[in-house]
Amino acid sequence: MTTSKPQTARERNRQRIINAAEEVMRDPQQVFSAESVAAAAGVSKRSLFNHFGTLEELRAQVCIAQIDDFVKQFETKLLESAPLNSLDAVLTLIEPHLIDKQFCDAVLHNIVMSETEQLWWQHNAATAPYVYAFGGIAIRLATVLRQIVPSVNAQDRDSFAIIVFSSIRVAAEHWYLSSGKQSDKKRYRSWEEHMGAALERIRTGYGNL
Q: Where are the alpha helices (DSSP H) in the chain?
A: 9-26, 34-41, 45-51, 55-81, 87-98, 101-111, 115-122, 129-148, 154-179, 184-206
Asked if residue 68 and residue 150 are part of one domain, the reply reads yes
Q: Which domain holds residue 48?
A: 1-53
Q: What is the value of pTM for the model shown? A: 0.63
161-186 as b/e, with b when 16 or more CB fall inside 10 Å?
bebbbbbbbebbbebbeebbeeeeee
Report the C-alpha gap between 175 and 107 in whole angstroms. Answer: 10
Q: What is the pLDDT of residue 4?
A: 55
> Each residue of 48-68: pLDDT tens digit?
999 998 887 888 788 777 777
Number of domains in the chain: 2
Residue at a domain's end among 34, 53, 72: 53
Residue at a domain's end among 31, 53, 75: 53
In the chain, the amino acid numbered 123 is H
Per-residue model confidence as pLDDT tens for the chain (209 residues): 445 567 788 899 999 999 999 899 878 788 889 999 999 999 999 999 999 988 878 887 887 777 777 777 778 888 888 888 888 888 888 888 778 877 777 666 665 554 555 554 455 544 444 555 555 666 777 788 888 888 888 888 888 888 887 787 778 777 877 765 667 778 888 888 888 888 888 888 776 54
Q: What is the pLDDT of residue 35?
A: 96
Asked if residue 117 and residue 188 are part of one domain, the reply reads yes
Q: What is the pLDDT of residue 56?
A: 79
Q: At what angle do helices 9-26 and 34-41 cross, to 10 degrees?
A: 120
Q: What is the pLDDT of residue 137?
A: 66
Asked if residue 200 and residue 168 are part of one domain, the reply reads yes
Asked if residue 23 and residue 94 are part of one domain, the reply reads no
Asked if residue 180 and residue 108 are part of one domain, the reply reads yes
Asked if residue 44 and residue 75 are part of one domain, the reply reads no
Q: How many CB atoms lie within 10 A of CB 11?
A: 12
Report the C-alpha gap between 184 and 198 in whole angstroms. Answer: 21
- For 102-139, the DSSP string reads HHHHHHHHHH---HHHHHHHHTSGGG-HHHHHHHHHHH
